[in-house]
Amino acid sequence: MLKYRIFPPPSHLSSASQLLIEEPVLDFDLYLDPGDYMHLTCLTKVGHLKYFIGQPGGKWNSVTLARFDVKSQLFRCLTLKVLPKRVH
């Protein structure tokens, strides 16, 4: 399960948590670009590598990029690299 909270300045009081994915998550990485879009990639317990893009408090788009056998392979330290017009 993956949730997030928004801490708007200057109050530093958080809003209610928002559920992004209900499946159990093994690992994830997040990048906030200059346009305030969040890019998130995560690997679920069943082996789905998912990519999400959205703005805090807004609509999220997602896609499953790949499926892995997490029982026979070990995955750690997902790293998301966002370049102009590209995501690696």
Taking the C-alpha atoms of residue 67 and residue 38, their distance in angstroms, rounded to an integer, is 22
pLDDT tens string 7-19: 777 766 666 777 8
C-alpha neighbours within 13 Å on the C-beta side of residue 38 = 20
The token duo for 28 is 């994830």
Amino acid, single-letter form, for residue 32: L
pTM, full prediction:
0.80
Residue 18, class by beta-carbon neighbours within 10 Å (0-12 exposed, 13-18 middle, 19+ buried)? middle
Pinpoint the alpha helices (H) of 1-85.
none
Taking the C-alpha atoms of residue 66 and residue 76, their distance in angstroms, rounded to an integer, is 15
Rounded to an integer, the average pLDDT of 64-85 is 83
